[in-house]
Amino acid sequence: MRPTRVTIKDISRKAEVSIATVSKVLNHDYSRVSDETRERILRISNELNYRPNMLARGLVSHKFNLLGLIVPDISNPYYGEMARGMSDEAETLGYSAMISNTDNQRAREINSIQTMAEYNVGGIVMTGEIGVSEENVALLKRYRIPYVGVENYGPDADYCIYVDNYTGSYKAVQLLIEYGHRDIAYITGHVELHSPGDDRLRGFLQAMADADLPVNPALLKSGGFTLDNGYRQTLSLLSRNNQFTAIACGNDLIALGAYQALRESRLRVPLDVSLVGFDDMFMTNTMEPRLTTVKQPAYEIGEEAIRMLVHRVENNPIADKVKCFEPLLVSRDSVAPPAKKES
Amino acid sequence: MRPTRVTIKDISRKAEVSIATVSKVLNHDYSRVSDETRERILRISNELNYRPNMLARGLVSHKFNLLGLIVPDISNPYYGEMARGMSDEAETLGYSAMISNTDNQRAREINSIQTMAEYNVGGIVMTGEIGVSEENVALLKRYRIPYVGVENYGPDADYCIYVDNYTGSYKAVQLLIEYGHRDIAYITGHVELHSPGDDRLRGFLQAMADADLPVNPALLKSGGFTLDNGYRQTLSLLSRNNQFTAIACGNDLIALGAYQALRESRLRVPLDVSLVGFDDMFMTNTMEPRLTTVKQPAYEIGEEAIRMLVHRVENNPIADKVKCFEPLLVSRDSVAPPAKKES
DNA sequence: CACATGAGGATAAACGTTTATCCTAACGTC
DNA sequence: GACGTTAGGATAAACGTTTATCCTCATGTG
């Protein structure tokens, strides 16, 4: 029950006009207001250091300039970068941002949407590694909340931004093949339908198929786009005496885990094992050896998502409901020709 | 002007009771309500999938369970980790989070506070590398917004969480000295009064003084807690033919930049140059060689900040207005005795 | 019977805005 | 002199809640 702040009522009292007039002036609607009155109101509003109460404004005008950002994990640098892009662009466009982490759990996604609905967000950007569920879309539509999906395109996700994961993955694997690798392991995260993980896996499989290379199921690992998963799966790969000369990773975090496991096993990158990642997180450039990976422009994706969302929120015409970013293969030092086999 | 959602008015109409009764039941106040009426209201509310409108609730009750998170840069993994801790704890306590980036700029801090005031946040966590300004505190007090400062303790910042930066820095430098280093460079970020940067620098200076080692001003660099600054300052250090065998870095990002510059200059860590960082970001454990650094428990700091803030927001008694975390020296592989001098 | 009591609920004001509509005095017009 | 017009502003409803107060009816009590 904290004391309330300065309101337009205070201004109207001091300026000896009605609150309606104050409201108009403060909204830069100067019709039907004399210059003198306008100046008086503006001056007093400044003196009192008036700040509008967005709750009241939102309640009556049905405009609440708050956007919801739903991400799997803000502490993941990739999403941190994207969130930064979203936050910056939102600020530029006069909006604020509310954020929620889901850890890629359906229940938490639902929960976030509902909470954001309660808080009357103007729109939501949905990010996730498991694709947008029909349930999510249904909920967003029921609450009539405009949304944009990022990396996350279910059958019904009409508005979305994504990176061509299939092609990016294809190129990375193709690079390994060009270097002469034939026994290529693949470690990835979640592989649900219509998700980035799914597309990247298909890119891998197609690249192998196009080169007439067999895919050894024992070399296919999933479990999560995390460093820990990369570490564990690599150890698992090594422990079974599998034959492989390269690992394609579903993202950079997995690659980071692979580095660690390989190093602990006294294997050198790229001499013993070549490695490619996905995302191009900022630290991959400082690793030793520097990681060859596929760049996703996280910051720009975030910006673009907000741009599209705000267009929807404000009912502006939208050029394209779907925007695809091209991934870029960044060739660095973690890929080399396979070592001669001694077996 | 999107259509409005289900309200308690809809429920009251269907249940044939007044909205006051509906409100009471929905707030779990069952006094003066018959069991039958209660069940009916609950059932109908469920059927209609009612969600409260927080704007309306906040307007009248002066309780709006939204907290403001002001951070320098969410894409910095250290703050990402902390933000995650804050977000998780807020959710646990029934609050939501609004986020704003400042890039350590005073003007943007002010702006964030004002915007959050307009949005009626219940409280604010202020994070920053430049210390909390008197202006910030004045603003927060004027708007009567409870706040907690993190790593960020001006003369007036009564409620705050921080890490003993001085001691952490002291220990790291002490380690270098114990290994036999005498010519130690120091690269840091912003060094404003009452800021982490200030304390870390003092820790460095004191450790040097206690070991009777002179400090060479040419080896003291600042400019920002960024990878880029670490990179540039290291190159600058190298280009001037300075004598040094170790670099103490103000944080891990700077250390990452130093790694990169050293590698490009064909210098090996730790054989040619030893390196210590600060923060213990997750990737420092996967670097080659693994970085010796001072661990700050970012996630826990975030959690604790929210816990303290919510105590203030809800007017609960607070045990300690100031909470200090002890930094932990994590000894890994980036420190070795200095090479024999050949000069 | 007159009256207090309490259960169960309705009424209405309030929160701080926006916005459609209404009012009034001054002036011009024929 | 009756009437329209306009500038400048006031009034009041509305948004969706919470909450203090009031109302009504049935029951109990002496």
Among A310, A286, A265, residue whose Cα is nearest residue A124: A310
Residue A1 has a pLDDT of 43
Could you report the per-residue pLDDT of B84-116, keeping only the tens digit for each? 999 999 999 999 999 999 999 999 999 999 999
Mean pLDDT lowest among A100-109, B126-135, B176-185, B225-234: B126-135
Share of chain B above pLDDT 90, in %: 85
Those residues whose C-beta lies under 8 Å from the C-beta of residue A138, and which sit 6 or more positions away, are none
Cβ contact B286–A260 (<8 Å)? yes
The model's confidence at residue A129, banded by pLDDT at 50, 70 and 90, is: confident
Instruction: Specify the pTM.
Output: 0.94
- Whether chain A has a CB inside 8 Å of the CB on B277: the answer is no
Distance CA B40, CA B106 (A): 54
| B99 token code pair | 């986020």
Among B4, B12, B94, residue whose Cα is nearest residue B45: B12
Residue A285 has a pLDDT of 85
From the list A52, A87, A263, which residue is nearest B99 (CB)? Answer: A87
Please, what is the angle between helix A19-26 and helix A8-15, to 10°? 110
Q: Strand pairing of B123-127 and B66-71?
A: parallel
Could you report the per-residue pLDDT of B35-89, keeping only the tens digit for each? 999 999 999 999 999 999 999 999 999 999 999 999 999 999 999 999 999 999 9
Q: Which residues of A touch B52 (CB under 8 A)?
A: 118
User: CA of B32 and C1' of C15: distance in angstroms?
Assistant: 25
Among A94, A107, A103, A99, residue whose Cα is nearest residue A82: A99
Identify the residue whose tokens are 């009241």: A56
CB distance A147 to A309 below 8 Å? yes
Among B187, B163, B160, residue whose Cα is nearest residue B173: B187
**Three-state secondary-structure class, residue A324:** strand
Please, what is the angle between helix B54-61 and helix A54-61, to 10°? 140
Query: Which residue from B minimizes the CA distance to A290?
Result: B260
Give the Å distances, CA to CA, from A220 to A109, A180, A242, A307. Answer: 28, 19, 11, 38
Residue A260 has a pLDDT of 93
The amino acid present at B150, given as its one-letter code, is V
> Taking the C1' atom of C12, which residue's CA lies nearest?
B20
Range A187-201 burial, b when 16+ CB lie within 10 A, else e: bbbbbbebbbbbbbb
pLDDT at A219 over 60: yes
CB distance A74 to B84 below 8 Å? yes
A52 preceded by a cis bond (ω within 30 of 0) = no
Distance CA A300, CA A304 (A): 6
Those residues whose C-beta lies under 8 Å from the C-beta of residue A43, and which sit 6 or more positions away, are none
The model's confidence at residue B341, banded by pLDDT at 50, 70 and 90, is: low
pLDDT at B342 over 60: no
- Provide mean pLDDT across the span B172-196: 93
Cβ contact B53–A118 (<8 Å)? yes
Cβ contact B117–A55 (<8 Å)? no
Q: How many CB pairs under 8 A join A and B?
A: 150
The model's confidence at residue A89, banded by pLDDT at 50, 70 and 90, is: very high
Residue A319 has a pLDDT of 82
Q: Which of A1, A46, A74, A296 to mutate to test the interface with B (most CBs of B within 10 A)?
A: A74
Residue A263, judged by CB atoms within 10 A of its CB (0-12, 13-18, 19+), counts as middle
Residue B318 has a pLDDT of 85
- Provide mean pLDDT across the span B176-193: 94
Residue B187 has a pLDDT of 98
Cβ contact B96–A100 (<8 Å)? yes
Could you report the per-residue pLDDT of A142-201, keeping only the tens digit for each? 999 999 999 866 666 689 999 999 999 999 999 999 999 999 999 999 888 778 899 999
Share the mean pLDDT of chain B. Answer: 93
CB distance A291 to A268 below 8 Å? no
A122 sits in which H/E element? none
CB distance A234 to A262 below 8 Å? yes
In angstroms and rounded to an integer, the radius of gyration of the C-alpha atoms of chain A is 26
In chain B, % helix, strand, coil (3-state, to 5) comes to 45, 15, 40
pLDDT at B343 over 50: no
The model's confidence at residue B155, banded by pLDDT at 50, 70 and 90, is: low
- Provide mean pLDDT across the span B165-180: 98
Distance CA A174, CA A57 (A): 56
- Structure letter (DSSP) for residue B212: T
Chain B, residues 133-172, CB within 8 A of chain A, namely 142-144
Could you report the per-residue pLDDT of A10-60, keeping only the tens digit for each? 999 999 999 999 999 999 999 999 999 999 999 999 999 999 999 999 999
Could you report the per-residue pLDDT of A137-146, keeping only the tens digit for each? 999 999 999 9
CB distance A49 to A6 below 8 Å? yes
pLDDT at A67 over 70: yes
| A103 token code pair | 């850890």
The model's confidence at residue B151, banded by pLDDT at 50, 70 and 90, is: confident
pLDDT at A61 over 50: yes
Give the Å distances, CA to CA, from A293 to A223, A254, B316. Answer: 20, 12, 50
Among B107, B97, B109, residue whose Cα is nearest residue B71: B109
Q: Which residues of A touch B83 (CB under 8 A)?
A: 74-75, 99
Distance CA A189, CA A167 (A): 18
Residue B1 has a pLDDT of 43
Query: Which residue from B minimizes the CA distance to A268?
Result: B288
